[in-house]
Amino acid sequence: MKYLLTIIVSILLWNCAAADEELKFDIIKGKKTLGELQVAKFPNQNGFDIHIESQIKFWFFGTRRLIYSIYNNFKESYLLTAGSKSTLNDKTRHETSITKESNQYTFKDLHENETHFCDTSRIRYTIGYMYFKEPTHINKVYSERYLEYLPIEKVEEHRYKIILPNGTKNYFKYVNGIAVEVEVNHTLAKFYFKKKN
C-alpha cells in the first residue's frame, strides 16, 4: 500500500511539478525508433526526485510492448525511497521498492514477494541518477531493478560500462556531465537511447 501511494504521488508530481531538468531520448533498435524515454529531475523540499518513464513497441515473434519506470526520492544527498517496474504486454515482469527507515534500508521485490533488510551505508548513486551525473570517481551504482550495487568501469573518456548480475553490459556516454547515449543489452534485443536535441 505504501509503495502504491508513492507511485500515485510520483505520477501526480510528474504531471504537476515543473522539472528542474528534463531529458528525452529516442529508443532505437537497429535503424528504427521504437519509442521514447523521458527522464526528469524535480526539486523537493529537502532534495530532489527523479522519474524515468519509457514505452517501447517492437516485433519479436509477435508484437511486444515494454513499459519501464523508475522513481527516486533523494533527501539531501542520499536515497530515501525508490522503485522500479516493468511490464511486457501488460504483464508485470518485475516490481521493486526501496525505503530507508532509521538506520536501514528495506528492499522489496514485489513481483517475487520477497523482502530483505540491510544496515547499509546511505545509497548516494542510482541508475536513475546516472542520467544527470557522470560517474567520475564512482565505481558502483545501486540498481533499483536488481536491488544491489553494480560495478561501473570507465571504458573511454566520458563512457562507462555497467555490469549487470547476469553478466550483461550496458553503456552510458556523457557530454558536459549529462547522459546523451545509453546502450541497453536487453534479454530480447539491444536498444540505444539517444538524447534528443
Are 82 and 73 spatial neighbours (Cβ–Cβ below 8 Å)?
A: yes
- CA-based nearest residue to 52, from 86, 77, 2: 86
Share of the chain above pLDDT 70, in %: 89
Quote the pLDDT of residue 9. Answer: 40
Domain-by-domain residue ranges, the chain?
Answer: 2-195
Q: Report pLDDT digits (tens) over 5-60.
A: 343 344 434 444 556 789 999 999 889 999 999 999 999 888 999 999 999 887 77
Q: Whole-model pTM?
A: 0.84
- 73 pLDDT higher than 50: yes
Quote the pLDDT of residue 102. Answer: 81
Average pLDDT over residues 159-172: 96
Quote the pLDDT of residue 70. Answer: 97
